[in-house]
Structure 1
Amino acid sequence: MLILLLGVVSTVSCAAVASNVVQIPLEIDNSMYTVNSLSLGLPAQSVSKIVLDTGSSDLVITHSVYDITKSTSAINSNLTFSMQYGSSDLFYVFAVNETLVGDDFKLSKFPLGYPKDTLIRDIVGYSGILGLGFRAFEALFRTSNNGKGVGYANFPQALKEQGITKSSLFSLNGQSDNPYVIFGGVDTNAYEGPLVKVPIIFIIGTNFVLDYYLYLDVTVNQVTFNNKEDKTVIANQPLAYWMDTGADSWLTTPAIYKNLYNCFQNTKLENEITWILIKELKKISITFNIAGFDVTIPLTDLIDTKNGDYASLKIDYATIGTETYQSIIPNAVYKYMYTVFDLDNGFVYLGKSSGSQRQVIKSVTNAELPVPTTTLKEYTNSYTTLYKDSLETMVASRPTSCKKKH
């Protein structure tokens, strides 16, 4: 979610909760996962409507929920850094060290970004952002060292460094009912089967490959358009996808975008917007194959705007190598899978959501998972060569049925 300038709280039935873990309940607010149970400073100021974001790495809190002048524990460094999220304008923040408290933890002198402009009371409609990404992607205390050895211990790492958890690993149960995130542990009852191990990959550019992690990118090996009549492969070239929980849109490539829209039967173009018949959308789903693990979402999860019997979709495209180095998988996928993020070791683990409300949580020490894991045959077919639209599969426009062009 972060753009860096580089060169009602739900309750869940808990049957067994391990020590050394931090569980935070979430709400889904306009497709974003939000945290609503934190407080900042002394005396405590409640903060809510904070986006849980693996697409950035810093905690940023706006003036709508926190007033630094009312906190006796705030330490303002007076250092300023630039921030920009999604469609927001560029803004500047002070780096502030503050006391951060949740139901299961208390962090002392935790860094956060606090806007210099007192008129900034929201970021793309939310009170703040809780970034969980890599240190190299931190905006606060950013230095020029090619992404290595910079920054500070952000939220998952600070929990471990201050002795609250034994691992900076965290896991997300993004199910529609009672979603939650666990730091330092795994809910073994939240998914089906062994967890599928997926490598996080380095950025591949036009003439370079980074040797450190910047984005939380994984390989998507195939994308399939599914309806009741058939299934059509609309992408079969390995491509880097950013696992950004703060992105509610699907960013893909021009070729895949064209293939997708060629599969629709009932569309109309108005004001440069393609509208699809809602009745048709209800029959369609999209499957992303992530290193062999399939996650399927109904396309209605990506509806943006409705226009009578038609709707537009939260889908856009950008050219790999010139406009971006990766596509973005929409955060709707997290409703259908359990996701474990092991940033220290460069892996994510995926499992089909079980939908169970009965938790069995096990703590993790140094990212050694206490549960069975597996790798699938696509594990070794990672994204290693810059994606080219010209090499993508082609799908012909369909008047009556979606057929692959040979």
Structure 2
Amino acid sequence: MHTTTPLLAALLSASTCTAAAHGRRDDAPRVVSMRTRKEPITSSHLDRRNTNNTLDIGLTNQKILYTVEASMGTPPQKIVLQLDTGSADLWIPAANWCENDAAEVQDGPQACKAFGSYSANDSSTYEYLNSNLVLGYVDNSRTTGDFATDVFTIGGVSVQDMQFGIGYNISTDGFTGGIIGISYANDEGGVIEGVATSYPNFPAVLVNDGLIRSQAYSLYLDSAESHDGTVLFGGIDTERFEGQLQTVSIIADNGVYRDLQIALDSISVSGGPSLGPDGEALVALLDSGTSYTYIPDDIITPIYDQFSITYDNSSSNSYVDCDLGNQNTSIIFSFSGANISVPMSEVVLDSNTYAKGGSKTGQSGICAFGILPMSGLSLTSPILGDTFLRSAYVVYDLDNNEISLAQARYNAGTESNILEIGEGPNAVPQATGTGSGSGGTPDSGNGNAAAGLVAVTQVTWAVALLHLAALGWAAL
């Protein structure tokens, strides 16, 4: 996750969605599909968290972000946003900041060019709300600016009067563009700081305007070798996972549902005993905005010992012989009956991409390892980031406070079988466990839920894969 501990004076606003000009059948599934794109970005800080003001992490690292393409305003101003299940606000850097001040921030000009910005003066539908946007960081990094509403467009779906933040002043060690947060509205910065009530964020707006039936979506990142994945609002795609979805409860924070966190019962290496935890389950956050996975030291140490993995304290990177990625070995994460197997091929990674700045980065035969110790970053609970999520098909059901998981099917191809997530309890189809769904409304039957006769808006992205070259960022 990119942002953390924001102080946002958010306002309640009414937002209206309009779908693409397709005929809608009442019996067709209501889903909105977006293809995500994987972006390598250099950043001098790790994911800045929006979790109860408890965590700030500093790390020089070549990160992998998952992004979606969108536009804001009239006429549309193109932007690329990081998709983040660990936050709830939508914010965009201001064009004025990019033009005048971005050079003062590491990677500022490159990020502005690659991911875009927003100019209020260039939009006829811009409406100012207030100047109370403040995203504050524990390390004194901060973003300040305005709250506004405007037309937010994602492919065939437009949201009228979408509330969002405009960053006019950004002070940080590393900049990676704007964010669309899709967690609970209670995870909005103003709610966390106690200065505002929640407003309808993107998942809520889709429900309010009848495009999906409930605040639920499924996330499929695909393998480390793939350049894109899919987030499907209001539905699941049975072609993207193996077996059956297993549902577990989201864990509230002092009675408030804010973070997408669940009980992690055990971690093991395939064929071996549980490495922990001993006693009560761990509370683990599932966060698409975090590139790596972080687990307790007493669990990761035997894994490092078994496979001769070394940890570099100076850069907070881990290194291993690249041959480990060819071994038929996995790390197993268990959650109340749901077992997700993470193959070594998914966590033994190119060091030039995943461990920039480390002492062994770029050495022949040396790879980065994508599971790291919590202690190096002063974490108090595990974070299951992209190196875990790529192996899981995850359904986030915010209305029922549940998450359903299954083993991801890598490189699933173009075939789809989309089922709608309904309303009320047991809404997720083909799921068992805490809340078990069955059935669901299928798509048109031809494997393509974006046909003009069904109530599906397909959002397809073609965002260029970026690489930080010696003299700047260049699209490949």
Could you tell me the TM-score, scaled by structure 1's length?
Answer: 0.76
Change (3 A) 1:190 1:112: same
Matches of 1:297 and 1:279, distance apart in 2: 16
Match of 2:125 in 1: 73
Uncovered stretches (5+) of structure 2, i.e. residues with no partner: 8-24, 41-63, 95-111, 356-360, 435-476
Match of 1:58 in 2: 89
What one-letter code is carried by the residue in structure 1 that aligns with 2:288? T
Change (3 A) 1:333 1:271: closer
Contact 1:77–1:95 (CA<8 Å) still a contact in 2?
A: yes
What one-letter code is carried by the residue in structure 2 that aligns with 1:158? V
Change (3 A) 1:239 1:345: same
What one-letter code is carried by the residue in structure 2 that aligns with 1:212? V
Whether 2:366 is the aligned partner of 1:310: answer: yes
Q: Secondary structure at the match of 1:326?
A: coil
Of 381, 401, 404 in structure 2, the residue corresponding to residue 326 of structure 1 is 381
Q: Secondary structure at the match of 2:206?
A: helix
Q: Shift of the alpha carbon at 1:25?
A: 1.3
Match of 1:33 in 2: 66
Matches of 2:388 and 2:138, distance apart in 1: 19
What one-letter code is carried by the residue in structure 2 that aligns with 1:246? G
Which string of whole-angstrom CA distances, capped at 9 and with x for unpartnered residues, describes residues 28-76 of structure 1?
223322102x11111111112x111001111111233221221111122
Which string of whole-angstrom CA distances, capped at 9 and with x for unpartnered residues, describes residues 261-308 of structure 1?
222336587968653222235435322112221112234534433333
Change (3 A) 1:82 1:324: farther
Whether 2:430 is the aligned partner of 1:372: answer: yes
Matches of 2:384 and 2:214, distance apart in 1: 26
Of 265, 277, 302 in structure 1, the residue corresponding to residue 308 of structure 2 is 265
Matches of 1:127 and 1:269, distance apart in 2: 28
Q: Shift of the alpha carbon at 1:244?
A: 0.4
Of 91, 107, 114 in structure 1, the residue corresponding to residue 159 of structure 2 is 107
Contact 2:5–2:138 (CA<8 Å) still a contact in 1?
A: no
Contact 1:282–1:298 (CA<8 Å) still a contact in 2?
A: no
Matches of 1:87 and 1:296, distance apart in 2: 35
The within-5 A match list for 1:315-394 is 315-318=371-374, 324-354=379-409, 355=412, 357-367=414-424, 368-369=426-427, 371-375=429-433
Matches of 2:143 and 2:180, distance apart in 1: 17
Match of 2:186 in 1: 136
What one-letter code is carried by the residue in structure 1 that aligns with 2:296? T
Change (3 A) 1:172 1:163: same
What one-letter code is carried by the residue in structure 1 that aligns with 2:399? D
Q: Shift of the alpha carbon at 1:314?
A: 4.3
Change (3 A) 1:267 1:21: closer
Contact 2:238–2:418 (CA<8 Å) still a contact in 1?
A: yes
Q: Shift of the alpha carbon at 1:125?
A: 5.0
What one-letter code is carried by the residue in structure 1 that aligns with 2:141? D
Uncovered stretches (5+) of structure 1, i.e. residues with no partner: 7-15, 204-209, 377-406
Which string of whole-angstrom CA distances, capped at 9 and with x for unpartnered residues, describes residues 360-386 of structure 1?
22333325536232128xxxxxxxxxx
Matches of 1:20 and 1:274, distance apart in 2: 43
Contact 1:223–1:233 (CA<8 Å) still a contact in 2?
A: yes
What one-letter code is carried by the residue in structure 2 that aligns with 1:35? V
Which string of whole-angstrom CA distances, capped at 9 and with x for unpartnered residues, describes residues 243-264 of structure 1?
1011111222232232332223
Q: Percent identity?
A: 22
Contact 1:98–1:108 (CA<8 Å) still a contact in 2?
A: yes
Match of 2:336 in 1: 291
Matches of 1:281 and 1:339, distance apart in 2: 24
What one-letter code is carried by the residue in structure 1 that aligns with 2:184? F
What one-letter code is carried by the residue in structure 2 that aligns with 1:59? L
Match of 2:446 in 1: none
Match of 2:320 in 1: 276
Change (3 A) 1:308 1:271: farther
Contact 2:371–2:387 (CA<8 Å) still a contact in 1?
A: no
Of 214, 218, 231 in structure 2, the residue corresponding to residue 167 of structure 1 is 214
Which string of whole-angstrom CA distances, capped at 9 and with x for unpartnered residues, describes residues 118-139 of structure 1?
x67x995533111011111101
Match of 2:275 in 1: 234
Change (3 A) 1:76 1:193: same
Q: Shift of the alpha carbon at 1:166?
A: 2.0
Match of 1:249 in 2: 292
Matches of 2:370 and 2:243, distance apart in 1: 31
Q: Shift of the alpha carbon at 1:102?
A: 1.6
Q: Shift of the alpha carbon at 1:183?
A: 1.2
Q: Secondary structure at the match of 1:153?
A: coil
Q: Which moved more, 1:154-163 or 1:172-181?
A: 172-181
